[in-house]
Chain A
Amino acid sequence: MASHEALRHLTIGQYIPADSPIHRLDPRAKLLAAGGLIIAGVVASKYSNVLFLALLVAVLVKVAGLRLRSALANLVPVMPVLLVMALLQILFYGGASRSAGPNRLLVEWGLLHISAESVRVIVVTWARFVALFLLITLLTSTTTASALTRGLEGLLRPLDRLHLPGHEIALVGAIALRFLPILGEQLEAILQAQASRGVSESRSRWHLLANARRMAQVIVPLFVDAYHRAEELILAMQARCYHGGKGRTYLIPFRSRPADYVAVILSISLAVLAGVLQYSTLP
């Protein structure tokens, strides 16, 4: 298919305006809560815990008024990686025992030994991946880039005493986020221009030299353009008297509401609970 629209199909990191309880949360609270849930997701590795977490995030996606299906559609490009990972785990997890136990053998067929433990690892990895992916999508779809930046800046403020440039770090992150879709469009335009001048679409991937040359023909104009944009951005910022974060005030100051505290407390408790459930010796 020769349609050059594929790059714009990536909606990761794209803010989708709506009015939902999650959209209304203070960005600082959202960042902290997301952090708590990420920790919970990384710690949890039992079926029940990790599936509960994936379900919880899916419910949050619904609460935010996003379409679960289009959020999940972004997972398609990484499917091959997940499949290869699952295959390797089935083949090489090993350690299966014939007696009943946590790692009992489920299927034995020639060289193939599928144990209960390898199945658990695969299911948990997939569920964790989906949960974390949805969580990041949720965060970026319900928070504008500028709100994220200010949230991050707000969270880094206590580090000012250590002379850590919180504002500047947040700004660098914001500019990087802001420029991703622009670079995507630029890349698309370059590929279109090259296709228009007779590049044949399907060339064997074994033409290594030709492909390396093609890559340079795409990367070089992309970088030249990015540097031009950076220079223009600097001029625009200076023209508007940008002088860093010191003494800067905001049009709409953050005001934390009870809902924000609830979100942060709940997600941090979840992280603690996940840790306790994981490492407790209770049955």
Chain B
Amino acid sequence: MSEEIVSVQGLDHTYLAGTPLATAALRGAELCVRRGEVAALVGPSGAGKSTLAHFLNGLLRPAARRQVVVFGQDTAEPSCDLVALRRRVGLVFQYPHQQLFERYVGDDVAYGPRQLGLAGEELRERVRWAMEIVGLDFESFVDRHTFSLSGGEMRRAALAGVLAMRPELLILDESTVGLDPRGRREVHALLRRLRREEGLTILLVSNDMDEVAELADQVTVLYAGQTVLAGEVHEVLAQGELLRRYGLSSPTAVEIIHELRRKGLAVTSGAITPYEAEEAIWQAMKP
């Protein structure tokens, strides 16, 4: 087993505690992410996924010790160095337009590395690397106005701004929502590449079960602020009935296999991606 870099145990959080508008967002959430893996955090809207993500880079801090430990640091400790933590944990927000704040794309991507003390040629190279890896051509985008970008370009720019800090853990908070199929495919390919080439650990916060089946190794299901299911991706996604009860769906491949079995075709279950489903159906149909 590789090193555990995120450990969340029994985490509670109430927004606006002590006012008439108090709402409990997390009640005993659990999460574990190991180095080098792609973990997925799934759950219906309002389950507390974003709140939990905000705890992981210290935007929110727990009231009690040992509840949130990231890279061996307990974020409840007053001495916890949040700036250092945020350099290691890159968080890409749900809405990219909330994340971009500099006037030019190049400046915005350079913002993080500048805070790290990079300058001159080194900074330029870092920005070029981050922009090229997300598919924004450096020469044509570096001097574009941030707020004139299209939705998809904004997402890429936001991702580049986070990647430019070379984080060790990348958290994507529903970061493919609103992308067209091609844009989503490109982001998926990018995530695979980052994992393979940079050894990046990724936490995918998502509602899209096909995406989760495609990319994740481990899945944690959050429902009403509680961790209700966690485990290896095939194990979790095979539980269609349970997922439906938690307001989620199964990946398309699981649904197809389920329907075929119901109609009497002897397909082995356990496929979660289209490729695996194709393999299973081929095996069943082979004379």
Is A239 in contact with chain B by the CB < 8 A criterion? no
Question: Using Cβ atoms and an 8 Å threshold, which residues of chain A touch B57?
Answer: 196
Q: Interface size (A, Cβ < 8 Å)?
A: 33
CB distance from B19 to the nearest CB of A (A): 6
Give complex CA distance A41, B160 in Å.
56
- B82 x A2 contact (CB < 8 A): yes
- B101 x A196 contact (CB < 8 A): no
- A198 x B87 contact (CB < 8 A): yes
Stretch at the interface among B64-72, B111-119, B200-208, B242-250: B111-119
Give complex CA distance A195, B83 in Å.
8
Question: Using Cβ atoms and an 8 Å threshold, which residues of chain A touch B99?
Answer: 193
Known: A189-B93, A217-B101. A200 touches B61 (CB 8 A): no
- B95 x A2 contact (CB < 8 A): no
Is B15 in contact with chain A by the CB < 8 A criterion? yes
Question: Using Cβ atoms and an 8 Å threshold, which residues of chain A touch B18?
Answer: 70
Give complex CA distance A251, B161 in Å.
50
Question: Using Cβ atoms and an 8 Å threshold, which residues of chain A touch B15?
Answer: 5, 8
Is A14 in contact with chain B by the CB < 8 A criterion? yes
B115, closest chain A residue (CB): A198
- A197 x B54 contact (CB < 8 A): no
Is A4 in contact with chain B by the CB < 8 A criterion? yes
Question: Using Cβ atoms and an 8 Å threshold, which residues of chain B touch A1?
Answer: 61
CB distance from B183 to the nearest CB of A (A): 21
Give complex CA distance A67, B82 in Å.
36
Give complex CA distance A192, B115 in Å.
15
- B59 x A195 contact (CB < 8 A): yes
- B19 x A11 contact (CB < 8 A): yes
- B59 x A198 contact (CB < 8 A): no
Stretch at the interface among A22-30, A131-139, A220-228, A261-269: A220-228
- B21 x A14 contact (CB < 8 A): yes
- A197 x B162 contact (CB < 8 A): yes
Question: Which of B98, B111, B147 has the most A CB atoms < 10 Å from its CB?
Answer: B98
A1-43 near B? 1/0 per residue, CB < 8 Å: 1111100110100101000000000000000000000000000
- B165 x A70 contact (CB < 8 A): no
Is A194 in contact with chain B by the CB < 8 A criterion? yes
B113, closest chain A residue (CB): A198
Give complex CA distance A186, B101 in Å.
12
Give complex CA distance A228, B100 in Å.
15
- B112 x A197 contact (CB < 8 A): yes
- A193 x B147 contact (CB < 8 A): no
CB distance from B78 to the nearest CB of A (A): 9
Q: Interface size (B, Cβ < 8 Å)?
A: 35
Give complex CA distance A67, B95 in Å.
36
Is B24 in contact with chain A by the CB < 8 A criterion? no
CB distance from B228 to the nearest CB of A (A): 26
Question: Using Cβ atoms and an 8 Å threshold, which residues of chain A touch B112?
Answer: 197-198
Q: SS class of chain B's interface: helix, strand, loop or mixed? A: loop
Question: Using Cβ atoms and an 8 Å threshold, which residues of chain B touch A224?
Answer: 97, 147
Is A160 in contact with chain B by the CB < 8 A criterion? no
Is A230 in contact with chain B by the CB < 8 A criterion? no
- B111 x A67 contact (CB < 8 A): no
- A192 x B59 contact (CB < 8 A): yes
CB distance from B146 to the nearest CB of A (A): 9
* From A4, A5, A16, A193, contact of B101 by CB (8 A): A193
A208-240 near B? 1/0 per residue, CB < 8 Å: 000000000110110011001000000000000
Which residues 1-37 of B sit at the A interface, judged by CB distance below 8 A?
Answer: 15-16, 18-21
B164, closest chain A residue (CB): A197
Question: Using Cβ atoms and an 8 Å threshold, which residues of chain B touch A186?
Answer: 98
- B101 x A194 contact (CB < 8 A): yes
- B91 x A196 contact (CB < 8 A): yes
Is A108 in contact with chain B by the CB < 8 A criterion? no
Give complex CA distance A195, B90 in Å.
11
CB distance from B283 to the nearest CB of A (A): 46
- B101 x A220 contact (CB < 8 A): yes
- B20 x A8 contact (CB < 8 A): no
Which residues 49-78 of B sit at the A interface, judged by CB distance below 8 A?
Answer: 54, 57-61
Is B102 in contact with chain A by the CB < 8 A criterion? yes
Which residues 154-188 of B sit at the A interface, judged by CB distance below 8 A?
Answer: 161-162, 165
Q: List 16 A-B contacts (CB under 8 A).
A: A8-B15, A9-B19, A11-B20, A70-B19, A186-B98, A189-B93, A193-B99, A195-B59, A195-B86, A196-B90, A196-B93, A197-B162, A197-B165, A198-B83, A201-B82, A201-B83
Further contacts, 19 of them, CB under 8 A, given A186-B98, A221-B100: A2-B58, A2-B59, A3-B59, A9-B16, A11-B21, A14-B21, A192-B54, A195-B86, A196-B162, A197-B86, A197-B111, A197-B161, A198-B83, A198-B86, A198-B116, A200-B83, A201-B82, A218-B101, A221-B101
Question: What residues make up the interface of A, taking CB atoms closer than 8 Å to B?
Answer: 1-5, 8-9, 11, 14, 16, 66-67, 70, 186, 189-190, 192-201, 217-218, 220-221, 224-225, 228
